[in-house]
């Protein structure tokens, strides 16, 4: 990997407000055990030998805090902090536009700022998988019975073929740029990068992750993350 002729760049969209938590502070900046959630997330990428660079897209008002965290935790791979957009898609696009001397085969690794429990092993295996297969979206198989309906049941889904989509989502620059351009041209907003790439007629490969890689959206999630942190220190 050290002699590779492409870069692996992590993009961390951090512009979300996290209103479901009921906090005036966006969830990614809340502290757990004295450290901001986004700092835990960034450290995973900082500590990976595979990651060459990290770009964070955030609200301008949080640039000073992010620069402070960069210094405090030695996040030397954070090369740029760019302004986020009104949607996640806009934020990722702004990060893509900020990359200097980008090559078509450079790998873009997009990961949620508020998904701090990503395991190093999962990240590195997913990156390797994406390089071999052409791209990758990390997703975990569901364990519950799934149904489709409104107030009544309309159908049951085969859970063996259903996954919960997570991040990181990993694509060569040429794929994600093409998919993003198509979405912009057609005024389409997707829920994530994999939906844009799939919509642009690329095959999207599933890398099976695990439920531990959850996104913090509620008080329960915060408590669960605290629990995992305690397990790591034992």
Under CATH, to which class is 8-221 assigned? alpha beta
209: pLDDT confidence band, cut at 50, 70 and 90? very high
DSSP 35-104: EEHHHHHHHHHHT-TT--EEEEEE-GGGHHHHHHHHHHTT-TTEEEEEE--SSHHHHHHHHHHH-TT--T
pTM for the complete prediction?
0.94
State residue 4's pLDDT score.
76
Please tell me the predicted confidence (pLDDT) of residue 156: 92
69 burial type by CB count under 10 A (0-12 exposed, 13-18 middle, 19+ buried): buried
Convert the pLDDT of each residue in 101-148 to its tens digit: 999 999 999 999 999 999 999 999 999 999 999 999 999 999 889 899
Q: What is the C-alpha separation between 117 and 20, in angstroms, rounded?
A: 19
Query: Tell me, what's the pLDDT at 232?
Result: 82
Gyration radius of the chain over CA positions: 18
Domains of the chain, residue spans: 8-221
Q: Please, what is the average pLDDT of the chain?
A: 94
């Amino acid at each position: 990997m050290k002699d590779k002729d492409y870069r692996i760049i992590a993009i961390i969209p951090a512009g979300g407000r996290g209103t479901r938590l009921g906090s005036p502070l966006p969830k990614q900046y809340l502290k757990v055990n004295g450290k901001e959630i986004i700092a835990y997330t960034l450290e995973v990428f900082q500590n990976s030998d595979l990651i060459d660079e990290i770009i964070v897209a955030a609200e301008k008002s949080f640039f000073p805090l992010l620069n402070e965290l960069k210094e405090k935790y030695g996040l030397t791979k954070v090369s740029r902090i760019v302004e986020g957009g009104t949607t996640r898609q806009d934020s990722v696009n702004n990060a893509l536009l900020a990359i200097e001397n980008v090559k078509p085969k450079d790998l873009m690794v997009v990961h949620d700022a508020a998904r701090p429990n990503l395991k190093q092993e999962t990240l590195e295996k997913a990156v390797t998988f994406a390089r071999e297969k052409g791209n990758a979206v990390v997703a975990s198989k569901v364990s519950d019975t799934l149904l489709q309906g409104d107030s009544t049941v309309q159908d049951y889904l085969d859970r063996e073929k259903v996954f919960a989509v997570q991040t990181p989502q990993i694509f060569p620059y040429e794929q994600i740029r093409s998919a993003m351009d198509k979405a912009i041209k057609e005024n389409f907003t997707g829920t994530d990068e994999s939906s844009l790439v799939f919509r642009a007629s690329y095959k999207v490969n599933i890398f099976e992750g695990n439920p531990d890689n959850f996104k913090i959206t509620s008080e329960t999630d915060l408590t669960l993350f605290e629990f995992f942190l305690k397990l790591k220190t034992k």
